[in-house]
Structure 1
Amino acid sequence: MDFDISSIEDFTKGVITYAWIIIPILLQALLYYFIGRFLIRVIIDTITKIFSKYEIEASLSIFLLSFLRVVLYVVLILAVASTLGFPITSFLAILGAAGLAVGLALQGSLSNFAGGVLILIFKPFKVGETIEAQGTLGSVEKIDILYTTVRNFDNKVVVIPNGGLANNSITNLSAKPTRRVEMNLGVAYGTDLKKTRQVIIDTLQKDERVLEDPAPVVYFTNFGDSSLDLTVRAWANAADLWPVYWDNMEAIKEAFEANDIEVPFPQRDVNHYFPEGNPAISLNNNQKED
């Protein structure tokens, strides 16, 4: 079998020429890849330390780091592909169109995601605290990136989208260590208010859960239809709020009874007018005539 030596030499020269062209490009791509991996590792480690320093919520930290890692590796792969001569313009256009379509389809989820990020960063409430939001009052059991789980006081679990939580008012009932206990009472007209006030204060001071500072106060607030209305304000630790309220309402009621302080009930005076005179007088007159 005859071989064309000149053809083999041409092929060899072509391979060598192509190798001299492609090898530097491959080496450049590999260099970019390893440098990019190193930079990604440095960036992720730096951001991890920042999250740890500022005590970013663990679930948010994990999610953001994973998301950032994916984005950085996509950028690195595109850079390496561009170095190798692959056309990435069309790929970027397709990726942008797909991202727009997904964004439109997941508007609600993206809103919840943004709300979750804001909640986990700014921490208007934490797990274990009691909040009132979106018509729900209860204890926060879990904060996810999309939803917050709240258990209300009759043991129902309510899952609230974070988008609504982040864009509406939230009342955090556990943010402060102390809470004010407020009781509205009524006593009968004619009651000695100074005596009543002292009886209430003495009753509250017997409860060790009632704080001395700020001291309990009793205000006369209104002339009611059937009573003199009083507002009682005392302070207690947040965890003792309702026990202090319930126990002292009963204790004040017993103290009123012991000190002959009347708690009135609604009363009405009814006057009946007879335009033709008093029927009793008319009846007596008729009897005399007979």
Structure 2
Amino acid sequence: MEQMDTYGQLAATYATDIGLKVVAAIIFWIVGRWLIGLAGRLLQQAMERQKVDPTLMRYVGSFLSVTLNIILVVAILGYFGVQTTTFAALVAGIGVAIGAAWGGLLGNLAAGIFVVVLRPFKVGDFISAAGVTGTVKEIGLFATAINTPDNVMTLVGNGKVFGDTIQNFTANPYRRVELKCQLAGSADHLTAMQLLREKLLAVPNVLAEPAPEVDILEFNLVGPVLAVRPFCHNDHYWQVYFDGNRVIRETLAAAGFPAPMPAQVVIMQQPGA
């Protein structure tokens, strides 16, 4: 009976000790996370006072957060008696198995550093990279967040972004809007071209310099196809695109141009003729 009491006391002691450690670990985690958040906010405020570029601010903030969280986890493991040397040996032992995954992560990390240093784009730019087109919201440690025009947040690995063709539509002060206009074969194309050049200049946000380009692009069975190309800032691209199509339709209709219709020639031959 005394032996059972001794075992019970030992079990209660161990349970109490483990429970206290678990509670302490939870407290350490909560306090540590709060301190990490505080450090991140202080760093961000300091960089804002120094007018550091927003792209670099987010990147440094992400790097600091990941590093401090790893240190916090290692510290909690050490509190539970897990030696850091043992932890390092365990990681080294399974390194071969996860080497491919870590290689990809390290590749994304290195590509992210190159993106920040070489600056092919920055936060707020409208780009096309790795098959995704949209506005850059964040350049993270391993991935770039792009908000597409249909309002879908898309995360693309930095390695894929930097290893593919990057188009930055915000880098230049203006871009060309690609429109087409089908004319009937009997239409006066010279008059149509001059009318469209004049009317496009009245479309909001279309630049006067360079002037809108209107010329014959190709021919088909209906008639000539005009290339209609006004210029505008990237922020106004879709507004100019839709307004330009409307102007093409209304201008030609008001001027009395014939509707483009496919023409067919039918030859009828009488039997025995």
Question: TM tier, shorter chain?
Answer: 0.5 to 0.7
Per the alignment, do residues 53 and 64 of structure 1 end up closer, same or farther by CA in structure 2, a change over 3 Å counting?
A: farther
**Which residue in the other structure is 1:260 paired with?**
256
1:1-290 paired onto structure 2 within 5 Å: 57-61=56-60, 101=96, 103-273=99-269, 276-277=271-272
Per the alignment, do residues 124 and 263 of structure 1 end up closer, same or farther by CA in structure 2, a change over 3 Å counting?
A: farther
- Partner Cα distance (2:112, 2:94) in 1: 21
**Which residue in the other structure is 1:6 paired with?**
none
Per the alignment, do residues 136 and 273 of structure 1 end up closer, same or farther by CA in structure 2, a change over 3 Å counting?
A: farther
Unaligned runs of 5+ in 2: 1-45, 69-85
SS, match of residue 231 in structure 1: strand
Per the alignment, do residues 140 and 66 of structure 1 end up closer, same or farther by CA in structure 2, a change over 3 Å counting?
A: closer
Q: How far apart are residue 142 of structure 1 and its match?
A: 1.5
Residue type matched to 1:57 in 2? Answer: L
Supply the RMSD in Å over aligned alpha carbons: 3.3
Q: How far apart are residue 62 of structure 1 and its match?
A: 5.2
Q: How far apart are residue 115 of structure 1 and its match?
A: 1.4
Residue type matched to 2:179 in 1? Answer: M
**Deviation readout 1:75-112 (Å, 9 max, x if unpaired):** xxxxxxxxxxxxxxxx9x96995696465551111111
**Deviation readout 1:201-230 (Å, 9 max, x if unpaired):** 121122242111111121112221111111
- Partner Cα distance (1:212, 1:192) in 2: 25
Per the alignment, do residues 64 and 208 of structure 1 end up closer, same or farther by CA in structure 2, a change over 3 Å counting?
A: closer
Q: How far apart are residue 236 of structure 1 and its match?
A: 1.1
Per the alignment, do residues 67 and 99 of structure 1 end up closer, same or farther by CA in structure 2, a change over 3 Å counting?
A: farther
**Deviation readout 1:117-172 (Å, 9 max, x if unpaired):** 11121121222222222222222121101011112122222111111111111112
SS, match of residue 262 in structure 2: coil
Residue type matched to 2:146 in 1? Answer: V
- Partner Cα distance (1:246, 1:211) in 2: 16
**Which residue in the other structure is 2:71 paired with?**
none
CA contact (8 A) 1:186 1:263 kept: no
Residue type matched to 2:56 in 1? Answer: E
- Partner Cα distance (2:152, 2:130) in 1: 15
- Partner Cα distance (2:117, 2:146) in 1: 19
Unaligned runs of 5+ in 1: 1-47, 70-90, 279-290
SS, match of residue 231 in structure 2: strand
Q: How far apart are residue 269 of structure 1 and its match?
A: 2.8
Count of aligned positions: 207
Q: Equivalent pairs: percent with the same residue?
A: 30
Per the alignment, do residues 99 and 122 of structure 1 end up closer, same or farther by CA in structure 2, a change over 3 Å counting?
A: farther
- Partner Cα distance (1:187, 1:118) in 2: 49
CA contact (8 A) 2:204 2:240 kept: no
SS, match of residue 220 in structure 1: strand
Per the alignment, do residues 139 and 212 of structure 1 end up closer, same or farther by CA in structure 2, a change over 3 Å counting?
A: same
Per the alignment, do residues 243 and 54 of structure 1 end up closer, same or farther by CA in structure 2, a change over 3 Å counting?
A: closer
- Partner Cα distance (1:108, 1:68) in 2: 18
CA contact (8 A) 2:58 2:138 kept: no
